[in-house]
């Protein structure tokens, strides 16, 4: 975390030197993350904004899809979603198949995405799907208990053009 914060502090100072004083985040629910971002940016004199804060995630996802954005799931938490969700384009069918305990926007870390096309793109990013890989990670709590976490990752291979 110290290395991350050091890099971020340097980046914020560079942005501030360029005259940037505002930063926009797409966070929706996580209070601790919002507080952390606000605190760290304030140290650099940059103001954080959260235009999606507390919005209904199902409505947000439908609006995103209806606006014509295209995004693919590139990572899933295996404890929440099986590998069939990894590598899928998010659309209305995807939303209808999500388990009830999974946030439609993946706000609790259930999945992560890659946006590759939409109305603000001059052209779609071109890529192909590579290998789907399962990886495990372990963490240890302060009382010495070890927990293993599994994630599915969809490799994306850029195409020239």
* Residues 116, 147 share a domain: yes
**Are residue 29 and residue 71 in the same domain, yes or no?**
no
Verify that 61 and 134 share a domain, yes or no.
Answer: yes
Residues 92 and 45 reside in one and the same domain = no
Please tell me whether residues 149 and 101 are part of one structural domain.
Answer: yes
Judge if 28 and 65 occupy the same domain. no
Q: What is the per-residue pLDDT for 161?
A: 59
Q: Determine the pLDDT at residue 120.
A: 97
Per-residue pLDDT of 18-60, as tens digits, reads: 999 999 999 999 899 999 999 989 988 899 999 999 999 999 9
The verdict on 119 and 135 lying in the same domain is yes
Mean pLDDT of the chain: 94
What pLDDT, on a 0 to 100 scale, did the predictor assign at position 96? 95
CB 124 within 8 A of CB 117: yes
- The reply to whether 64 and 113 lie within a common domain is yes
If one counts the domains in the chain, the total is: 2
Residues 14 and 71 in one domain: no
Range of the domain at 30: 2-49
Same domain, 111 and 145: yes
pLDDT digits (tens, 9 = 90+) for 56-105: 999 999 999 999 999 999 999 999 999 999 999 999 999 999 999 999 99
Are residues 23 and 66 located together in one domain of the fold? no
Q: Is the pLDDT of residue 141 over 90?
A: no
In this structure, the answer to whether residues 100 and 154 fall within a common structural domain is: yes
Model pTM score: 0.82
**What pLDDT, on the 0 to 100 scale, is given for residue 44?**
86
């Amino acid at each position: 975390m110290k290395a991350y914060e050091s890099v971020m502090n340097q980046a914020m100072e560079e942005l501030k030197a360029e005259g940037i004083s505002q930063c926009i985040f797409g966070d929706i629910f996580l209070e601790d993350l919002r507080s952390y971002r606000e605190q760290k940016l304030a140290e650099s004199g940059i103001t954080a904004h959260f235009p999606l804060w507390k919005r209904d995630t199902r409505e947000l996802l439908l609006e995103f899809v209806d606006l014509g954005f295209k995004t693919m799931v590139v990572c899933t938490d295996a404890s929440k979603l099986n590998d069939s969700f990894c590598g899928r384009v998010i659309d209305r069918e995807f939303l209808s198949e999500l388990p009830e305990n999974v946030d439609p926007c993946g706000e609790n870390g259930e999945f992560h995405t890659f946006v590759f096309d939409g109305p603000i793109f001059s052209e779609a990013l071109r890529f192909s799907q590579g290998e789907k890989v399962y990886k495990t990670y372990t963490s240890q709590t302060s009382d010495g208990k070890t927990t293993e976490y599994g994630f599915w990752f969809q490799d994306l291979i850029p195409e020239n053009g």
